[in-house]
Amino acid sequence: MSTNVEQFIAELDGGAFEDKLSKVLSHVAAAVVDHGKMGSVKLEFKVGQIGSSHQVQIQHTMKYEHPTTRGDMSESEKGTTAMYVGTKGAMSFFPEKQDQFFDLKGNVATNPSNQESK
């Protein structure tokens, strides 16, 4: 399994990154049409391991430039999101597998592999 890109983008910054990207794309497109000049949107992802775990820290940067009447304007925004790395490197906000934390009665499970309550 590989990383689901749609899910990956949706999970960055708890969903805020996807919303900002949507607005930036629309803003740049509108400015391009209004001024007849090129604009750009650039995404950069830097990935680093968190300790010796199966988690990575994603540093995400969005840079954009849009035309104006007399030139252009640019802005960049940075953030970080921790993600789990699963089978074949698939990244997700949630781990692929998670042990049982509570038994059927709501008590803390003493043996995560034993999901039956006494």
Chain segment 11-37, per-residue pLDDT in tens = 999 999 999 999 999 999 999 999 999
The two three-digit tokens of residue 37, written as one number: 């000049």
83 CB-contact burial (10 Å; exposed 0-12 / middle 13-18 / buried 19+): buried
Domain boundaries, the chain: 5-92
- pLDDT tens for each residue of 46-60: 999 999 999 999 999
pLDDT at 116 over 70: no
Single out the residue of 3, 1, 26, 46 nearest to residue 18, CA to CA. Answer: 26
